[in-house]
Structure 1
Amino acid sequence: MAAKKKSAPKKKAKPARKVAKKAAAKSPGAKPLGPYTPAVRAGDWIIVSGQLGVQDGKIVSGGVAAQTTKAVENLKAQLASVGANINDVKKTLCFLTDMDTFATFNTAYVAGFGNSRPARST
């Protein structure tokens, strides 16, 4: 008769770790258009909702360069509200309505981020 193999003891599932979530006390910049938090800190993570080139509830004039500059300014304000800065950004996701404006957008983006070069999808 063949000896029965002992199966390894089953590991108990680790309980889910709760991460404290803290929203900015007062959100700077544009008022959210919906029921969401513009910036939130969760543990070591900071999540910032999409930022637009908006001031006083309106898209700024001056085209993609001005809109990108304002969006980065709004991003910086949201980051500051949770104790962070532009150098803490590790990834951005950017949307353009016209890829012909990419070079102009890119110039304004680089100016706004300075020497910080987060990963980016555009």
Structure 2
Amino acid sequence: MSKAIQVAKAPQFPLPFSHAIRSGDFVYVSGQVGVDPSTREVVGETIEEQTKQCLRNIEIVLEAEGLTLDHVVKVNAFVRPDSFPGYNAAYRESFKEPFPARTSVPCDLGAYLVEIDVVAYSKSTRGN
């Protein structure tokens, strides 16, 4: 059975989606962007700033289920095509090795330079 997860501290958008879905031992976090959770304003003008904020927003959702970025086993990212070096640098600061499996797709997201969704496994962390 699956359970919808809505997190009051995470960015709220008037769109039809759950912040995450728990299905068994897996938590599927919906795409997050680099906005301040309370204002929904874009944080920073660089890919590094937006990636870090995006991952903080993912952490907020994971924390509601007692998880951290260390539980993430899969990352899907949509990144402005000219932003991959900065995205990779911020990503490397946020995730410990062994890194999660990852797919990164170049695309134009307007004011957002990155959108990331993740899958987390609640029974163990990467490397355990």
Shorter-chain TM band? 0.7 to 0.9
Match 1:38 to one of 19, 27, 38: 19
Which residue of structure 2 aligns with residue 81 of structure 1?
64
Which residue of structure 1 aligns with residue 103 of structure 2?
121
Letter in 2 for 1:45: F
Structure 2 unmatched runs, 5+: 105-128
TM-score normalised by length of structure 2: 0.72
Superposed structure 1 runs of 4+ greater than 2 Å apart: 21-28
Match 1:104 to one of 76, 86, 108: 86
1:4-43 mapped onto 2 (5 Å cutoff): 19=1, 21-24=2-5, 26-43=7-24
Aligned residue for 2:31, secondary structure, equals coil
TM-score normalised by length of structure 1: 0.75
What whole-Å deviation, never above 9, does each CA across 1:10-46 have from its counterpart, x for those lacking one?
A: xxxxxxxxx2x22336332211340211022121110
User: RCO (CA 8 Å, sep 6+): is it higher in 1 or 2?
Assistant: 2
Which residue of structure 2 aligns with residue 53 of structure 1?
34
Letter in 1 for 2:67: A
Instruction: Note the C-alpha offset of 1:62.
Output: 2.9
The two structures, once aligned, show a CA RMSD in angstroms of 1.6
Instruction: Note the C-alpha offset of 1:95.
Output: 0.8
**Is the contact between residue 52 and residue 70 of structure 1 (CA under 8 Å) also seen in structure 2?**
yes
Which residue of structure 2 aligns with residue 68 of structure 1?
51
Instruction: Note the C-alpha offset of 1:110.
Output: 0.9
Identical-residue share of aligned pairs (%): 30
Number of equivalenced pairs: 102
